[in-house]
Amino acid sequence: MMKAGFIGLGGMGEPMARNMAKAGFLAALWNRTRQRAVRLAQQLEVECAESPAQLAERVDVVLTCVSADADVLEVVRALLPGLHQGSLIVDMSTVSSETARQAADLVRQKGAEFLDAPVSGGVEGARNGTLAMMVGGDEAALEKVRPVLAAMSSRIVHMGVVGAGQGAKAINQIMCAGINEAVTEALAFGARLGLDLTKVIDVISAGAAGNWFLERRGMSLLQGLFEPGFKLALHHKDLKIALDMAARIGTRLPLTEATLRDYEELLRQGYGDEDISALYRLKRPAE
């Protein structure tokens, strides 16, 4: 059985690591804020590594789920001294395709393999082990590690070379932006009409406009509860990645540009650590 190590025990990483442990793959953990790793390692009865490199020495596959581009490269550089021939790194953070390629170049110098494997499905998907995972990199390496990844995901699709997983994830994030705009704007409209929005969400969820975000965030956003979920500052980071990619291929994303402007306003107001459904703050009628 492959031995796996997990780095980045945040909102997504912690439940993913728990599922790895449940499936019997998890051997070691590491987190920048050490206390989080110590606590979870005790609970799951696995090793709490002293450093990313020490973790890499101990396992066959290193799974990472950290915040942004610079963080992935920092963690990958810290792993390098511990990598060995045949080591596998699977990064599940959402970053640019370019960062995935840079990370892959770094680990290949050590005879190791890198897969970009961003996920979708939110903290609920992470908890339930039902994430959708889009993977870029060597297909044989993916097949080797697929049983490990299947402990966290209900759908794993090979997209192409390194960076292709992040390309697919950018498409996902562009759609999420449009859905967030549409749902929050439409519910604010409904509030102004004075309709019973519990009934609205119930009936619309069963029809053509039903969607994941409406079903899982509709009621909480109406109550003014914006607990993440998915932090607005992280989606803002993803939309900037998508706009950079669009600029490179000479296309525009007007909906994404509008969402980015809204998020920038919310970041200015100090709501970056709230869920993306906090967009409703800008749309809802004044009390």
Q: At what angle do helices 97-108 and 164-193 cross, to 10 degrees?
A: 150
Min. distance of Cβ 186 from ligand NAP in angstroms? 22
Annotated catalytic residue within 110, 169, 231, 237: 169
Min. distance of Cβ 47 from ligand NAP in angstroms? 17
CA angle 20, 175, 118 (to 5 degrees): 25
Catalytic status, residue 169? yes
Residues interacting with ligand NAP, by CB under 6 A? 8-13, 31-33, 36, 65-67, 71, 74-75, 93-94, 119-120, 122-123, 230-231, 234, 238
Phi, psi (deg, nearest 5) at residue 156:
-125, 115
Token digits of residue 24: 């019997």
CB nearer to ligand NAP: give 69 or 200. Answer: 69
What DSSP state is assigned to residue 277?
G
Min. distance of Cβ 111 from ligand NAP in angstroms? 24
Question: What number of other Cβ atoms are within 10 A of residue 36's Cβ?
Answer: 18
CB nearer to ligand NAP: give 158 or 169. Answer: 169
Residue nearest to ligand NAP (CB): 10
Min. distance of Cβ 154 from ligand NAP in angstroms? 14
3-state secondary structure of 20: helix
Q: Judge whether 78 and 52 are in contact, CB under 8 Å.
A: yes
Q: Judge whether 16 and 6 are in contact, CB under 8 Å.
A: yes
Catalytic residue numbers, as ranges: 169
